[in-house]
Amino acid sequence: MNPAPIAVALDTDDLQTAARWANAVTPQVSTLKIGLALYMRYGPSVVASVRGGSGVDVFLDLKLHDIPATVAAAARAVASLHPTYLTVHATGGAAMIRAAVEALPDTKVAGVTVLTSLADDELAAVGLAGPALDTVRRLSAYSVAAGARAIVCSPREVAAVRAEVGEDITLITPGVRPPGSGVHDQARVATPEQALADGADLLVVGRPITGAADPGAAAATLARALRRRTVTG
Ligand code: C5P
């Protein structure tokens, strides 16, 4: 059975908890997302700890943003971990994105366009005036032109970004909520089925799985629903 296109966000700063979640969900999902809290606390060895003996894809969500030489060095430093995805901030510029891409030829460098935590007034304050969707589209096209092979965007933006970047780019969407699960602090959510229908390739799901009494069962239920959708079109 193919794993479902889900990246489980291992959002905890406790290694044992992360490894337990990873072990529970790995047969069901394609990808594990390791974010800054885990990586900053435990360093590169966290990848082997959560991957275990499985061949699950690893998404290193480190959101790099620095001068090109520094980003290239940081990207080279994680090459031996063989991440399938590594995030960089698109606003770091084309040379910075290209530096990461060239340092990690076997990894899909993913451009993070606009953080969904930024409201319109804050976007204007940091120099990104105008409708957020326009900025997301512009930064998506710009990231891809610089070599990024994936884009992180909200489910609400995914159709517009797909139209902008074409079929070959992997679109990764957080803010996904199965029907009946809590919204938490996500303001703009979509169901997993809707996000896929709109063009997403990989759904980032955290608390609906990791906050469940049985994360393995929650992942299995979601994976089944997505497989059904794939089968029925
Ligand atoms: O628990 P939840 O499903 O909301 O987790 C979503 C994950 O996606 C978290 O790791 C969060 O940091 C990340 N994320 C997000 N919104 C973005 C970018 C990343 O929620 N725009």
CB atoms closer than 10 angstroms to residue 97: 26
Share of the chain above pLDDT 90, in %: 79
Q: Is the CB of 116 under 6 A from ligand 1?
A: yes
pLDDT tier at 70, thresholds 50, 70, 90: very high
Q: Which atom of ligand 1 is nearest to the CA of 115?
A: 21
pLDDT digits (tens, 9 = 90+) for 106-127: 999 999 998 878 888 888 999 9
Mapping DSSP to helix (H, G, I), strand (E, B) and coil, where does residue 94 land? Answer: helix
Q: Which atom of ligand 1 is nearest to the CA of 205?
A: 3
- What is the pLDDT of the chain when averaged over all its residues? 93
- Which residue would you say has higher pLDDT here, 130 or 182? 130
Question: How many angstroms separate the Cα of 159 from the Cα of each of 95, 136, 166, 194, 199?
Answer: 27, 12, 10, 11, 6
Q: Is the CB of 155 under 6 A from ligand 1?
A: no
Contact 86, 135 (CB under 8 A): no
CA distance 170 to 166: 10
Annotated active-site residue 63? The verdict is: yes
Q: Which amino acid is at 90?
A: A
pLDDT tier at 230, thresholds 50, 70, 90: low
Contact 79, 71 (CB under 8 A): no
CA dihedral sign of residues 27, 29, 34, 35: negative
CB atoms closer than 10 angstroms to residue 213: 6
E strands, 115-220, in order: 150-152, 170-173, 202-205
E strands, 113-198, in order: 150-152, 170-173
Contact 177, 207 (CB under 8 A): no
What residues contact 228, with CB distance under 8 A and at least 6 apart?
A: none
Q: What is the arithmetic mean of pLDDT over 160-173?
A: 97
pLDDT at 227: 82
pLDDT at 233: 47
Q: Residue 193 pLDDT > 60, yes or no?
A: yes
CA distance 131 to 65: 23
CA distance 69 to 204: 29
Q: What is the arithmetic mean of pLDDT over 63-88?
A: 98
Nearest CA to ligand 1 atom 14: 174
Task: Give the H/E segment covering residue 64.
Answer: strand 57-64
